Amino acid sequence: MTSTPVLRMPFTLPNGTVVPNRLAKAALSESLAGPGLSPGEEIKTLYRRWAANGQGLTITGNVMVDRRALGEPGNVVVEDDRHADDLREWADIVTGGGSVGLVQINHPGRQSPRTLSAHPVAPSAIAVPGVAGSFATTARIVAQAGFHGVQIHGAHGYLVSQFLSPLSNQRTDQWGGTPENRRRFLLELVAAIREAIGPDKVLAVKLNSADFQRGGFDEDESLEVVHALAAAGIDLLEVSGGTYSSAAMLGVSDSVKESTRKREAYFLDYALRVRAELPGLPLMLTGGFRTAEAMEDAVASGGIDLVGLGRPLAVAPDSPASLLDGSLDEVVTQPRRAGVKLLDGLTELTYYTVQMWRMAVGKEPAPNRHQLVNVAAYTLRHGLDAIRLPLRGR
C-alpha cells in the first residue's frame, strides 16, 4: 500500500476557501435532469453516493445557462429561481460530507444536437452581453443555493472554447479575429460572474491546453489566456484538452501519445509550463490519473495543486477515501473501445454515463458489462438521435 500524506494536505484558494485535501471530483456530464430540467431525485441520489467518499472538491457536471441550448440529453438547466428548493438540496448533499462544491456552468454553442436545440449557434451568431448575463445569473443562483462557487466550462469544444478557437470564431468585431479579441468573451464572463457572486465565492475556469486540431487553439495561445485569467483574479484553473472530435481528454485521440497515457497525466507538461510562468495560480489537472504514486508525485513536485478524477469515480466511487488512507494504490479503468475508431468515443462516453445512471437509482456500478450493452441502455433512455453527436464528434 502507498502512503499519501501530500494528498491529505489541505489547500487554500485565493478567496480563502479551504479544500480539505488534494483530490477533486472533476465534472462528468450526468444526463440526469429531472422534471423541467431540474436537479431531480436521480442526480441527488448519485451525489449522495459520492458525498462521503473523501474528495476535497466536488464539481458537478455541466449545468446549462439556457434551456434553449442543451449540450446533451438530460442536462440540468439553471436560468432562474424556479428550481431553488432542488438546488438547495443538491448543494446540501454535495457539501454535506465536507467537500467544497462547485457547479460547472456551460453553454454548448454549436455543439448541440438538432433534436435538443432547434437552432444551434456558433460564436458569430451570439449576442455577447445577453449570454454573459445568462452565465452571471446562473452563477448567482447556484451560489445563493449554497454551493461554494462555479466553474466556467471553457474547454472541450463548447461555446467558450468556440470563441477562443480561430477555426470556429469567424467574427470580425471586437469579439473575434485577433487572439486578444477571441479571449474577450471569456474575460467578460469572468468579470460578470465575479460581480454576481462576490469575492467570497470560488470562481474557477476549465481550459483546454489545446484543442488538438490543425490551425486551432494551441498551447502558446492558451498560455496567453491563462495570464489574462490570472490577472482577472480567478481562484482555480483546471487544465484539460481536446474537443469531442479530437477527444484527448478521454485518451482516445491520436494526439495523446502512448508514452503520455502510461505516465497517466495527459496534460502535465502544459501544467508545468503554466506553473513556471504563473507560480501563484492554483492548478487542477484532470485526465489520465490512475495510481496513487502518480497523483502524489504530481502534487509533491509542486507542478499542480489538485488532482482531478472523473471517469474513475464512475466505476470506483469510493476510491478517493481509499487513495487518501493508503488502502488503494490504483484505480483500474479499462478503455471501453469497440475496435472501430468511429465508435470508440461513443462506447467510452456511454460506458461511464451508464455507470452513473446505475448509482442514480441506488445500484452499484457494473464495470464488466459489455460496452454495447451500455450503448443500448443509453439509446433506450435518450433515443437514437442522442448517439449521433458522439458518433460524428462534438
Check residue 215 and give its pLDDT: 62
Cβ-count burial of 185 within 10 angstroms (0-12 exposed, 13-18 middle, 19+ buried)? buried
Instruction: Please give the average per-residue pLDDT across 328-342, as a whole number.
Output: 71
Helix 341-360 vs helix 371-382: angle between axes, to the nearest 10 degrees? 70
Check residue 242 and give its pLDDT: 52
Check residue 343 and give its pLDDT: 65
Check residue 101 and give its pLDDT: 98
Check residue 376 and give its pLDDT: 86
**Residues with Cβ within 8 Å of residue 204, at least 6 apart in sequence:** 59, 102, 149, 150, 151, 152, 234, 235, 236, 237, 238, 284
Q: Name the pLDDT band for 124 (thresholds 50, 70, 90).
A: confident
Give phi and psi for 236, each to the nearest 5: -160, 135
Q: Which range among 149-153, 205-209, 284-288, 370-374 shows the weakest confidence by mean pLDDT?
A: 370-374
- CA distance linking residue 301 with residue 71, whole number of Å: 37
Check residue 213 and give its pLDDT: 66
Distances (CA, A) of 326 to 22, 47, 99: 14, 24, 19
Distances (CA, A) of 134 to 30, 87, 130, 189: 22, 17, 6, 9
Check residue 243 and give its pLDDT: 46
Q: With CA atoms as reference, report the closest residue to 106 among 72, 129, 83.
A: 72
Check residue 51 and give its pLDDT: 95
- CA distance linking residue 304 with residue 288, whole number of Å: 14
Check residue 190 and give its pLDDT: 98
Q: Are 75 and 90 in contact (CB under 8 A)?
A: no
Check residue 369 and give its pLDDT: 85
Whether the per-residue pLDDT at 246 is higher than 70: the answer is no
Check residue 112 and give its pLDDT: 73
Q: Are 164 and 154 in contact (CB under 8 A)?
A: yes
Instruction: Please give the average per-residue pLDDT across 259-265, as a whole number.
Output: 54
Instruction: Please give the average per-residue pLDDT across 308-335, as a whole number.
Output: 92
Other beta carbons within 10 angstroms of residue 317's beta carbon come to: 19
Q: Are 243 and 213 in contact (CB under 8 A)?
A: yes
Span between the terminal Cα atoms of the chain, in Å: 40
Instruction: Please give the average per-residue pLDDT across 196-216, as a whole number.
Output: 87
Q: Name the pLDDT band for 256 (thresholds 50, 70, 90).
A: very low
Instruction: Please give the average per-residue pLDDT across 128-144, as a whole number.
Output: 96
Q: Name the pLDDT band for 210 (thresholds 50, 70, 90).
A: confident
Instruction: Please give the average per-residue pLDDT across 168-174, as a whole number.
Output: 91
Q: Name the pLDDT band for 120 (thresholds 50, 70, 90).
A: confident
- CA distance linking residue 51 with residue 317, whole number of Å: 10
Q: Name the pLDDT band for 245 (thresholds 50, 70, 90).
A: very low
- CA distance linking residue 178 with residue 326, whole number of Å: 49
| pTM reported for the whole predicted model | 0.90
Count of helices and strands (H, E) across the chain: 15, 11
- Residue 260 or residue 106, greater confidence: 106
Q: Are 71 and 29 in contact (CB under 8 A)?
A: yes
Delineate the domains of the chain, giving CATH numbers in brackets.
Answer: 11-337 (3.20.20.70)
Instruction: Please give the average per-residue pLDDT across 274-301, as a whole number.
Output: 95
Rounded to the nearest integer, the mean pLDDT of the chain is: 88
Other beta carbons within 10 angstroms of residue 268's beta carbon come to: 23
- CA distance linking residue 80 with residue 291, whole number of Å: 41
Report the share of the chain in percent with pLDDT over 90.
67
pLDDT in tens, 57-88: 999 999 999 999 998 889 999 999 999 999 99
Whether the per-residue pLDDT at 217 is higher than 70: the answer is yes
Q: Name the pLDDT band for 125 (thresholds 50, 70, 90).
A: confident
Helix (H, G, I), strand (E, B) or coil at 130: helix
pLDDT in tens, 356-381: 999 999 999 998 888 888 888 888 88
